[in-house]
Amino acid sequence: MKKKLTEGRMVTFIVAIALIIDQIIKLSVKLGMRLYESIHVTDWFYIYFTENPGMAFGMEIFGKLFLTLFRIVAIGFLIYYVSRIRGKGFPKGYLVCVAFIIAGAMGNVIDCVLYGPIFSESTPYSVSQLVPWGEGYTSMLKGKVVDMFYFPLVEWNWPDWLPFIGGNHFIFFSPIFNFADACISCGVIAILIFYNRCLNWGMEGPASETALANEEKKHK
């Protein structure tokens, strides 16, 4: 007898697969490339190894420890959210998007929590090595996130006569990111475009919208 793929199992499966892909890519780069080393794939796509202590796409906001703890709390909330909304009529596509967001957040948390104590520091002159626990480049919760995807799709120099930006070199798209960042971004964008209605359902699903509509009819 075949087991039914429940919504909970589906989310767990997607999170696990995305996490495995994310960590395979990061470990391949971390243990195989020097810091700031790049591999030319096409003129608009490079594998460019960099590390950042901040949030997605290299942004640095607040302290490192705060960001790591914030991510962990956010993951806990998302897992709780999924446990509450499963089986309540939410579209499977919406659950897939949430699963990708959870996977992306968890992928970057793994870097922050584990990479510092178990890897030597990456430098422009040497490749990082796996070391005994606690002998790495920093302590637990303070590791740097490994980024590698760089898409300089278009670049130009601004005319000199423009105020503030005149003469500056501009690159689109300049942020360097990783697979986990892509999971988060794709999940959020897909929800905003295709499933924004679900955001108004709270944790009760379509039933909450029906109840609200019925309540409005009573007052008419």
Count the neighbouring beta carbons within 10 Å of the beta carbon of residue 211: 11
As a whole number, the mean pLDDT across the chain is 86
* Mean pLDDT (whole number) for 147-155: 90
Question: Which residue, 149, 154, 155, is CA-closest to 175?
Answer: 149
Is residue 122 very low, low, confident or very high in pLDDT (cuts 50, 70, 90)?
very high
Which of 22, 111, 160, 181 is catalytic? The answer is: 181
Residue 218 clears pLDDT 70, i.e. is over it? no
- Residue 181 among the catalytic residues: yes
Residue 211 clears pLDDT 80, i.e. is over it? no
* Mean pLDDT (whole number) for 196-210: 75
Residue 61 clears pLDDT 80, i.e. is over it? no
pLDDT in tens, 23-33: 999 999 999 99
Residue 1 clears pLDDT 50, i.e. is over it? no
pLDDT in tens, 88-104: 889 999 999 999 999 99
Alpha-carbon torsion (121, 122, 125, 126), positive or negative: positive
Residue type, 132: P
Which of 22, 111, 147, 160 is catalytic? The answer is: 147
Residue 56 clears pLDDT 60, i.e. is over it? no
Q: Residue by residue, what is the 3-state secondary structure of 70-105?
A: HHHHHHHHHHHHHHHHCCCCCCHHHHHHHHHHHHHH
Give the 3-state secondary structure of residue 163.
coil
pLDDT of the residue at 212? 44
- Residue 43 among the catalytic residues: no
Report the run of H or E that residue 25 belongs to, with start and end. Answer: helix 7-30
pLDDT of the residue at 121? 95
